[in-house]
Amino acid sequence: MNDAVLSTRCVIAGGGPAGMMAGFLLARAGIDVIVLEKHEDFLRDFRGDTVHPSTLNLMRELGLLDEFLALPHQKVFQLEGWVGDERAILGDFSSLPPPCNYIALMPQWDFLNFLARKAGALPHFKLMMQTEAKDLVLQGDSVVGLSARSPDGPLTIRADLVIAADGRHSVLPDQVGLRTIDLGAPMDVLWFRVPRREGDDEETIGRFVNGRILIRIFRGDYWQCAYVIPKGAFDDVRGRGIEAFRNSAAELMALPRARLDALESFDAVKLLSVSVDRLERWRRPGFLAIGDAAHAMSPVGGVGINLAVQDAVATANMLAKPLLARNLTESHLAAVERRRLFPVRVIQRGQVAVQNLVIARALAARQPLKPPLMFRIVSRSPFLRGLLARLVGLGVRPEHIQTAAFLPQAEENGASRPVSRVL
């Protein structure tokens, strides 16, 4: 049996924050888009839920903020650090311009379902779940589509542009010889939940003691916890047993030990193998990688989702016109890469500095930790607390929505016909 063949303007591999936002914005601008997501739904493992002011601002520009915030979420206005016995506010988001002056904590699947609902209402958008992108289709040096596996069998999708937004394990860039630069990470992270009870405070806080680090994130009726361990040390942690892990976590969280009984076994603990890397180049003719597929981020600052969304916005802003006019060239793709490479470089450089100067030292320390000078300076300066919040919350050179919403008469001016055709 021959593969089914579809034809569209843009096919996106991966329905994460980058792929769904890019698909939504391009379809909103009148471009035929197919997004492929290999899973059957968005309701999967915890993958972070920090929606930063940069993303909230974009929702506002799209006129979707109120509807978006009607979904259950918690607001975090300040980030606290706790080194040894000293506790201090290190980032103050409330100093950013209102109303998007906080981090909204919302499960990633709610965020993705919201985008899927909004995009699904557009005539130019098509989401294919349980459909896995496999191989790029090449014609000479150019990418002209991809092959995929769907529940109905193999499929080829031809497109003017293939976007890899399929996360940090994407195999597509390698198929066109795009190499990865590994910036290294000294740690991994163990994620788990602990119930929150009446009388607990609401602070999202990172606690550093000698040899151990725990970040606890306020999530209403539970704490989302990130226990930072040296790279590759999960087997050692497991070897010491769940009881030792519960004791250590309870101590770091300053919670009664019994609260950690909720953690029945290591099955409830999810390992995030941290990597920080980026592609040397993000594009080839007809091909662009964005989000984690182009640059895996460290969890420092919780910026991964938000940078992926920023990439998507820049992609739509810069490629909508050439895609509509069907005159897309590699130089358009290079312009997206240039625009996004700078913020990614700055943030990754900051993350690597924090990883090496703060996290690796805290994990290696055998003596009681003293707060570094910088901790004390930031904690006493409202200006620096605001600056840190700006860097983490808004990022570097934040994107704004520049694509217009598609109007039916745009078709006469070159917009593609709704929905892809089966050939």
Choose between 46 and 266: whose C-beta lies nearer to ligand FAD: 46
Choose between 308 and 369: whose C-beta lies nearer to ligand FAD: 308
Q: Which residues pair with 88 in a beta bridge?
A: 81
Question: Residue 206 is encoded by which pair of tokens?
Answer: 């990172």
- We find the least distance from the C-beta atom of residue 359 to ligand FAD, in angstroms, to be 15
- We find the least distance from the C-beta atom of residue 306 to ligand FAD, in angstroms, to be 6
Choose between 101 and 306: whose C-beta lies nearer to ligand FAD: 306
- We find the least distance from the C-beta atom of residue 124 to ligand FAD, in angstroms, to be 20
- We find the least distance from the C-beta atom of residue 14 to ligand FAD, in angstroms, to be 3
Q: Which amino acid is at 230?
A: P
Q: Which residues bind ligand FAD (CB under 6 A)?
A: 13-19, 36-39, 46-48, 50, 132-133, 165-167, 191, 270, 272, 291-293, 297, 299, 302-306, 308
Choose between 131 and 324: whose C-beta lies nearer to ligand FAD: 131
- We find the least distance from the C-beta atom of residue 216 to ligand FAD, in angstroms, to be 13
- We find the least distance from the C-beta atom of residue 388 to ligand FAD, in angstroms, to be 16
Choose between 216 and 324: whose C-beta lies nearer to ligand FAD: 216
- We find the least distance from the C-beta atom of residue 415 to ligand FAD, in angstroms, to be 26
Choose between 49 and 92: whose C-beta lies nearer to ligand FAD: 49
Choose between 19 and 285: whose C-beta lies nearer to ligand FAD: 19
